[in-house]
Structures are given as structure tokens and as C-alpha cells.
Homo-oligomer: A and B are copies of this chain.
């Protein structure tokens, strides 16, 4: 490990599955207590009266070693008795929430009704799951992400993804709620004090986008003076998982590592792209980012750990360069 002062965290901007895998790798190469995940809550929604926080839950369950690895979300071995009973009572049940997963969302809404803030509840849940990484929701305010579709239709992101199966006809994304939200307690402090900030290989439009849209977060990143390293979620022109291609295209961006780098250039300093996209490294460098072409496919825990190690190494290299460049 490095000789950084204790307490300076590694902050990770995180969405769901990709971020969760990356964080699993990160905790194999750095003490988990040093890691703070700042997680997108734009996907949050009430389902069946309980507060589901898809990305936060995926990160929590994955770091707990309890995620359903086949699906990438939900709890391994969960049952579906409640949802089946609700279906029999006439409810629409396209969001297939498992029983134990529902208990998490029920706990979240019950505690919030008791006046406990979302950040504190999130912390309770990760502790109950014996997760040592600190998990922070980006905001305690409701900040639903809406996807705008052809024909002036507008649906909540989970409706777009889960109910409608991520159709191709995206015309835009509405992050207005995130844009009017306050950062959750601890978020700005974690960013300002970070020794480095990593942007997980998550959907840049609907996972990282909402986090960056919360007022104060970009400024805190800049104020930290910390190196910011992002990992491309696009490999060979397609997303590793999920509908990032449709959302990038629908919002006018190139579906490529280079396209993602362009989205991040205003605040990032380093960029990891896949070896398959090594040809784009020069374009990324031209944007002012230091680029590294590496294997970004986290096919197992070792691969995820290696990717995290590379990201940390690039951050350290950038920190050195930034220190050298600062006036003596």
C-alpha cells in the first residue's frame, strides 16, 4: 500500500453491475475501509410501496458476496413469494423483486418514515450485510431519471430498462431531478478529501450522468485536486452490459470509448480503455486525458482486481505529475 495519510479515501462514482464488479476488484487491492462508493440513485423508485435503490443494492449485495451472480442484481437464492402473491391480488409485477430484496426496500422506507436519512439507512444496510466499503447515495432527495422516447413518451428509467426491455427509440434523458437535488451528507466531504477519484465502468448517461448532475459534485471533484481516472464501459463499440449504446446514441454521443472520454474530459485526468480500442488512445490523449489501453473485461475477481490496480497506478502516476506541475 502507499504511504498516503490514513483517512484520505478512494472515492468511486458508481452505477450498478459494472461498478459493483469493479469495487469487488478494488477491495482486493486496497483496504475496503478506505473506499467510498458514491452511488447513483436516479434509478430509485417505489415498487410495491417499498423504496428500491437498484444501484445501491447491487453494489451492497455484490460487495457482501450475496448478489445473484447470474443476473448481476438481486440476492442469490432469493424467493419470490410476495411478488407472486401480489400478482394474484392483481398487481403488475414486471419488477421481479425477491422476498429478501423486498425486505431491504421495506427497511429503507420504514426507517425513512422514522426520520432517518437515506445516507444513514444506506449505511445501516451495508453494515447489516457486513460490507466494509462505505456506500453513499449520491443524494437523499428523489432524483428519478426519465428516458425520453420517440413520440413524446417519457418513462422512468426502470420502466425503460425492465418493463419495456430497453427499446432503441431513445431521444433524450431527463436528469432534471438530479439537477435540482442536494448531495447526500458525506458526498462532498468524501470527494473533497479523496486521494483519488475513480469513475467505475458504468453507464455514462444514466449512472454516472445523474451523479455529475447533482449540484456541487463537479465542483467538489475539482476542489479535491485529486487525480480522476475513469474506466470505459464501452468495449469494441458496444456496452459490456446494459443499454448504454442506445442511451449514448439517443443523447447524441458516439458509442465508443472515445465518446465516453469526451463526456468525461471536463473533470477526468486519466482514462482506461480496452485493448480492443487501443487505436482510440491517441484521440483520448488529444482530449487532454492520459489514456491506457488495458484488459477491461472483469471476467472474474482476479481480472477486476487487476483493472482496479491499473486504475490506482494511473491515478498515482497522475498525482505525481500534478504535484510536479504545481508551483514549488
Q: Which residues of A contact B (CB under 8 A)?
A: 48-50, 78-79, 81-86, 88-91, 98-100, 102-104, 106-107, 109-110, 113, 124-125, 128
Contacts and interface: CB of A to CB of B under 8 A. Distances in A.
B85 A100 contact: yes
Nearest to A79: B81
Contacts of A48: 106, 110
Nearest to A75: B85
Given A82-B100, A85-B99, A89-B103, 12 more contacts: A48-B106, A49-B50, A49-B106, A49-B110, A78-B81, A79-B99, A81-B103, A82-B103, A84-B100, A85-B104, A88-B128, A89-B124
A104 B81 CA distance: 11
Q: Which 5 A-B pairs have the closest CB atoms?
A: A85-B103, A81-B99, A85-B100, A89-B107, A82-B103
B100 A49 contact: no
Contacts of A99: 79, 81-82, 85, 99
Given A49-B106, A106-B48, A110-B48, A128 B90 contact: yes
B124 A100 contact: no
Given A49-B49, A49-B113, A113-B49, A106 B82 contact: yes
A109 to B, nearest CB: 7
A280 to B, nearest CB: 45
Contacts of A82: 82, 99-100, 102-103, 106
Contacts of A90: 124, 128
A88 B85 CA distance: 23
Contacts of A110: 48-49, 91
Contacts of A85: 99-100, 103-104
Contacts of A113: 49
A61 to B, nearest CB: 12
Nearest to A113: B49
Nearest to A90: B128
Given A81-B78, A86-B103, A100-B85, A49 B128 contact: no
Residue from the set A50, A91, A100 with the largest chain B CB neighbour count within 10 Å: A100
Contacts of A98: 81
A201 to B, nearest CB: 30
A263 to B, nearest CB: 37
A75 to B, nearest CB: 8
A129 to B, nearest CB: 8
B81 A106 contact: no
Nearest to A125: B89
Nearest to A99: B81
25 contacts: A48-B110, A49-B106, A49-B109, A49-B110, A78-B81, A79-B99, A81-B98, A81-B99, A81-B100, A81-B103, A82-B82, A82-B99, A82-B103, A83-B103, A84-B100, A85-B100, A85-B103, A85-B104, A86-B106, A86-B107, A88-B128, A89-B124, A89-B125, A89-B128, A91-B107
Nearest to A91: B107
Contacts of A83: 103
